[in-house]
Amino acid sequence: MNEDIIKSIQNILDHDNQETREKLKELFKNEVFIPRYSISLKEERELAYKRLKIICENNVISTHDFGNNPCRIFSVHEIVGQMDGSTATKMTVQFNLFGGTIFGLGNKKHHETYLDSIDKLDTVGCFAFTELGYGNNAVEMKTTATYKHENNSFIINTPETLARKYWITNGAIHATHAVVFARLIIKEEDEGVHAFLVKIRDVNMESTHGISIWDMGHKIGSNGVDNASIGFNNISISKDSLLGDISKIDENGVFSSKIKSKRGRLLFLADRLLSGRLCIASMMLGAAKYTLETAIIYGKTRKAVGEDGKSTSPILDYQLQQRALMPLLVKTYAYNFALNYAKDLYQNNKEDKQIEKLILCCSIKAILSWHNERTASICRERCGGQGFLSVNRFGEAIMGSHAGITAEGDNKVLMQKVSKELLTMYKNNKAKILFTNILSKFPVLLRLTYGFTFKNINNPGVQCKLLNFRKELLISKLALRIRDAKKPNNSIFNIWMKEESDTVQQLAHSYIDHVTLVETIKNENKCDSSVKIYFNKVRNLYALSNIEENLSWYMTQGLLTKHQSRKLTKLSQLLCSDLVKYSGDLCDAFGIPKHMKTAPIANDWIKYNDFDNKGELLESARIW
Amino acid sequence: MNEDIIKSIQNILDHDNQETREKLKELFKNEVFIPRYSISLKEERELAYKRLKIICENNVISTHDFGNNPCRIFSVHEIVGQMDGSTATKMTVQFNLFGGTIFGLGNKKHHETYLDSIDKLDTVGCFAFTELGYGNNAVEMKTTATYKHENNSFIINTPETLARKYWITNGAIHATHAVVFARLIIKEEDEGVHAFLVKIRDVNMESTHGISIWDMGHKIGSNGVDNASIGFNNISISKDSLLGDISKIDENGVFSSKIKSKRGRLLFLADRLLSGRLCIASMMLGAAKYTLETAIIYGKTRKAVGEDGKSTSPILDYQLQQRALMPLLVKTYAYNFALNYAKDLYQNNKEDKQIEKLILCCSIKAILSWHNERTASICRERCGGQGFLSVNRFGEAIMGSHAGITAEGDNKVLMQKVSKELLTMYKNNKAKILFTNILSKFPVLLRLTYGFTFKNINNPGVQCKLLNFRKELLISKLALRIRDAKKPNNSIFNIWMKEESDTVQQLAHSYIDHVTLVETIKNENKCDSSVKIYFNKVRNLYALSNIEENLSWYMTQGLLTKHQSRKLTKLSQLLCSDLVKYSGDLCDAFGIPKHMKTAPIANDWIKYNDFDNKGELLESARIW
């Protein structure tokens, strides 16, 4: 590939806010952004704070972006996530969960007082949502905000240990304010969870009287993030701390709300969890690009036994390495296309696309954090001992992906939500459900109806039909099972949670897999012919890898014969070995500049080992 | 289950040296063994050293065990691996790689001088085998030991950066001695790699003149281990530093060796890598038991949304949790049985079992380290946020498993070795190879020949035949492909490394999967009837999970129909939900005492969160 083609590809991957991205990467030339490893927890946290501070001082991200350019926020997450997961995590809480909530729910006074200060990191915020015992059932959270009409205030209280706010990012050290979620109690009525802006530290950064903030200490990753467990002992806050104009308490102390259901109120107020999923998905994408490029570069320079028995063969020439890394490379591309689509959907925010926005935000976060985990673990393994040195950055990526898997909703729980919405969407299409189900019993008829022929298995249309049919049949099967739920001694809860869990998960996967393929095909169709030949390879291997991963399912449905499934594997192997030739260029198109590629094995790693480097990137050990 | 049954099961799992195991667990009551997290690299390494020192002072492990009771060494690795991977790693180098080599290859004088001192950790050793550039092709290593007849010495030299000894455990801080592997050069002849005992530090722990020892610094895990990069600048060592009596240099400076091939000499001298794989497999098993029990206990006490919408249902009641954890539980049992078999094979060391010993040591290390990685990652994920706190110990297990995947040979390279040996074993059985291959083309005939009927799919004999057939057919396919290699323009190297990599890996898996099932069945058959009902469930789910994981393969071979494969999945789901009832007891049988279960979520985790625990296990935060 020539430079122009690589640049064109980068333009497609980095589909928005390219200037901001470049500005940010330039910032990372500052010494503060050079990775450090053997430092104390305290230093690690200060480093993440310092890095975030520099980012904030350079106007690359603002809470106001939620008004006119949310994509900018997501893109900044991708680039910062590529540099340091801890900084990105502190940033996502500051700008999305905290700042975004103030932007979205605050009144004019809140905006005037806080937004600029948040952008500059003078006001540091946290999002006190999750409780120790109710992280998996937020609507049941126990913290209370009891309205006292006599002095126009709320009393915030933590009734039990299980109700302590838990995992609160920025809470242990840096936050001055918190958006606190609590059940609004008024005249002994529980009006459900509402959000309140609470000052948690004074000018000396001492915690406010009545608030206990406990440092959660050492974590398995992202230790630059300071997480806290926070408890409130009947602290009083003013009436105008209530955020959002959906619920009001009038001058007579009478409560009213535009939203009737308590669950609805919570969902409205916690809306930033949705954009938060795109923030996390973007961080995950950034990290996956980094680790993958590192492993692929190393694979080209690391030699092992060749045909002559000498150490003459780059390990990337081995099929073993190719079969491990190439599917990860095409998935990274495909998920990038899907994420771009999700970001656009979020930004455009059309009335008729609300459900799609919801399930896409949930599933793209899930699929990208899992993908990042697999990418980091497999790349670590394929880089052997070198992969085990912190300085080569696989450890951060593995642990960062675990944070992503759990944050802003456990992946598997989000996938349940996706399947639930899909079922609801199809609920009224009973004929289709039955038809799909009947069709599935007659594979020959099915092939005819959908027009599958194996000889066209490389055809995007055929691939798309296969993935789409998988989704539709899973919907159909699940819908019919739910119908059974109406029989005695059976409940939807039972079927959902105790009998069809595998199908529920598979369905959500099949949905995002299909969307991903559709978006990949769209990008293949609309790009220049110079780029198309590469996107064609990417799309083809993505689709075939996906079918291969679900091979037994397709066989069970009679959509692939024994003979065809053997051929499919062979085809997929050939595509992997073909793609290797372009893998370096495809990684170049990730646009990671030289000064960010600090991992020694993404550089002249022999030179790095010429001297006593102490496993760090000291002045003398900078080889890039 | 009553206590007696649990105890009986534990007796089977802990199949040897039970007194030593109990003594070791008692030792762990010492304060030093309480896990600590937010400490410096220096402290972490000193802690691991201190822990190892206490173990050494209490006569639970000795280099002499290689003479009469090697199983004791492996069992100690399991228990120490359960407590702290760093301590276990320092121990395995001290007692197996270093001490074991001195025991196995040292002469009487070496034994008298060093063995007791090694046992007491007064002499601390390392194993300078791997080189930066030749970790994946040791026979090509570049360090030289040039014999100087005039002063009865060898000159050890590192000719280039790629030849530096790399990843040398104990090297950065604690080691006084090293077994150094180097090419013996005599009269300008290269006699291949030999082993030498070299003192690397003086009484003040300063490195000997001419030896550069560089600390490799921070790693993604096991940071209690001090790894070094070591280089030799023409240092001189005495003639009697040469280890092993296979090669000799007589009084006239004439070299002779009992082993002709250079590869043969290396394999003989590096024999401890084989026992090392059982050491690592044991550590991995210990860690997997720990993380799994933690996740299962938490699953019983962590509540989430129940049928009434309240947080009333233990998460382990969800099928989602069961399908994630139960297959890991039965695999842990099954691999335990297989490891016991491998340990016996090693200990009995029969002449006619040498190849089986070799491939079993390789494959059990691989399968158990991968299993530990999956177990730790999945358990981390299924414990959500709690899984992300260091104090709950999933991070150590994830990263420790990565160390295990790479140490003592990259898993995938070891699997290649296993498949190579399997092919050699079957080489002379051409009729069988052809017969198996022909049979595979006629599934009906195949079913008849092997006597498969799906209605007996729960039958151990049928399951065993399926797994065995998988192994045999993969051997047959690969053998026929290798036969093709003799055609022009094709080489075995090409087929092995560039065309059939998937099959090579699958074959080695199918071998260890089959051995594991055979051993699981043996244990099921010979145990008491009170235990048998549980072992029956374990074996059945192990076998069905394994078939399920390879479902598309069995379908491709025509061994399972579409209908049967659906039924198999259903069966497997039912077995998971059935096993949950016994999962607590099955974990109890791991025999992990209360004082070792330090993870708060394996205890009263609400109480742990009642106070400012700082994420550590401070005096006040000990809830067990």
Mean pLDDT of B477-484: 89
Quick check: pTM over 0.95? Answer: yes
Structure token digits, residue B481 = 């492909």
- Among the partner-chain residues A37, A607, A612, the one whose CB lies closest to the CB of B214 is A612
Q: State the residue for tokens 């992946």.
A: A411
Interface of B with A in 56-95 (CB under 8 A): none
Q: Are A438 and B420 in contact (CB under 8 A)?
A: no
As a whole number, mean pLDDT of residues B177-194 equals: 97
Q: Nearest to residue A177, comparing CAs of A195, A162, A198?
A: A198
Question: What span, in angstroms and rounded, lies between the C-alpha atoms of A29 and A614?
Answer: 22
**Nearest chain B alpha carbon to A130:** B385
Distances from the Cα of B233 to the Cα of A320, B191, B415, angstroms: 37, 21, 36
Residue B466's contacts (CB-CB under 8 Å, 6 or more residues apart) are B450, B452, B547, B554, B559
Scan residues 497-516 of A and list those with Cβ closer than 8 Å to B.
497-502, 505
Please indicate whether, in this complex, the C-beta atoms of A614 and B398 are within 8 angstroms of each other: no
Quick one: which of B98, B137, B139, B140 has its CA closest to B118?
Answer: B98
Q: What CATH number does the domain located at B125-249+259-270 have?
A: 2.40.110.10
CATH of B273-588, one of 2.40.160.10, 3.40.50.280, 1.25.60.10, 1.20.140.10: 1.20.140.10
Kindly identify which residue of chain B lies nearest to residue A397, measuring between CA atoms: B220
Q: Taking a contact as any Cβ pair under 8 Å apart, which residues of chain A between 386 and 425 contact chain B?
A: 387-391, 394-396, 398-399, 402-403, 405-406, 410-412
Judged by CB atoms closer than 8 Å, whether chains meet at B556 and A556 is answered as no
| β partners of residue B127 | B179
Task: Find, among A430, A446, A552, A550, the residue nearest to A482 by Cα.
Answer: A430
Answer for the pair A267, A191: CB distance below 8 angstroms, yes or no.
Answer: no
Confidence of residue B624 (pLDDT cuts 50, 70, 90): low
What φ, ψ does residue B156 adopt, rounded to 5°?
-90, 130
Q: Do A217 and B615 touch (CB under 8 A)?
A: yes
> Does B220 contact A388 at a Cβ distance shorter than 8 Å?
yes
**What residues 197-216 of chain A have any CB closer than 8 A to a CB of chain B?**
212, 214-216
Tens of pLDDT, residue by residue over B247-290, are: 999 999 999 999 999 999 999 999 899 999 999 999 999 999 99
What angle do the packed helices B319-348 and B354-382 form, to 10 degrees? 160
Determine the residue among A218, A416, A566, A577 to mutate to test chain B binding: the one whose Cβ has the most chain B Cβ atoms within 10 Å.
A218
Question: What is the rounded distance in angstroms from the CA atom of residue A82 to the CA atom of residue A587?
Answer: 14
Is A40's CB within 8 Å of B40's CB? yes
Averaged pLDDT, groups of 10, chain A, 624 residues long: 96 97 97 96 98 97 97 98 98 98 96 98 98 94 98 97 98 98 97 98 95 98 98 97 95 96 93 96 98 98 93 96 98 98 97 96 98 98 98 98 97 97 89 87 84 90 95 94 78 92 98 98 97 98 98 94 94 98 98 96 96 87 60
User: Which pLDDT value is given to residue A272?
Assistant: 93
Residues of CATH 1.20.140.10 domain(s) within chain B?
Answer: 273-588
Helix then strand count (H, E) for chain A reads 24, 13
Q: What are phi and psi of A15, to 5 degrees?
A: -75, -5
CA-to-CA distance for B543 and B538, rounded, in angstroms? 9
Which chain B residue has its CA at the smallest distance from A306's CA?
A: B493
Q: Which residues pair with A582 in a beta bridge?
A: none
CATH 1.10.540 in chain A is located at: 3-119
> pLDDT for B147-160, tens place per residue?
999 999 999 999 99
Chain B residues with CB inside 8 Å of A376's CB? none
Q: What percent of chain A is helix, strand and coil (3-state, nearest 5)? A: 65, 10, 25
Helix (H) or strand (E) holding B236: strand B235-238
CB atoms near residue B92 (< 10 Å)? 29
Question: What residue ranges of chain A are covered by domains with CATH 2.40.110.10?
Answer: 125-270
Q: Quick one: pLDDT band at residue B623, thresholds 50, 70, 90?
A: low
Partner-chain contact A499 B319, CB within 8 Å = yes
Distances (CA, A) of A71 to A106, A121, B145, B470: 21, 21, 62, 51
Q: What Cα–Cα distance (Å) separates residue B618 from each residue in A124, A216, B38?
A: 30, 13, 12
For residue A563, the model assigns a pLDDT of: 93
pLDDT digits (tens, 9 = 90+) for B357-414: 999 999 999 999 999 999 999 999 999 999 999 999 999 999 999 999 999 999 999 9
pLDDT at A426: 85
Q: Is-contact A463 A496, C-beta < 8 A? A: no
Question: What are the φ and ψ backbone dihedral angles of A377, each rounded to 5 degrees?
Answer: -65, -45
What percentage of chain B reaches a pLDDT higher than 90? 91
Q: What is the pLDDT of residue B620?
A: 58
Contacts of B279 (CB under 8 A, 6+ apart): B73, B74, B77, B92, B96, B408
In chain A, which among 29-48 make CB contacts under 8 A with chain B?
Answer: 37-38, 40-41
C-alpha A99/C-alpha B143 separation (Å) is: 59
Sign of the Cα torsion B459, B461, B466, B467 reads positive
- What are B131's two structure tokens? 């080189």
Phi, psi of B558 (to 5 degrees): 75, 15
Residues 328-347 of A with CB under 8 A from B: none
Size of interface A-B (CB pairs under 8 A): 275
Shortest CA gap B69–chain A (Å): 31
- Interface check for B623 against chain A (CB to CB < 8 A): the answer is no
Contacts of B317 in chain A (CB under 8 A): 497-498
Query: A576 and chain B: CB distance < 8 Å anywhere?
Result: no
Q: For the domain A3-119, what is the CATH code? A: 1.10.540
The shortest C-alpha distance from A17 to chain B (Å) reads: 33
Domain with CATH 2.40.110.10 in chain B: 125-249+259-270
CATH code given to domain A125-270: 2.40.110.10
CB–CB contact B410 A215 (8 Å): no
Residue contact B220–A505, C-beta within 8 A:
no
Residue type, A88: A
H helix or E strand, kind and range, residue B499: none
**Model pLDDT, residue B228:** 98
Which B residues, 251 through 270, put their C-beta within 8 Å of a C-beta on chain A?
Answer: none
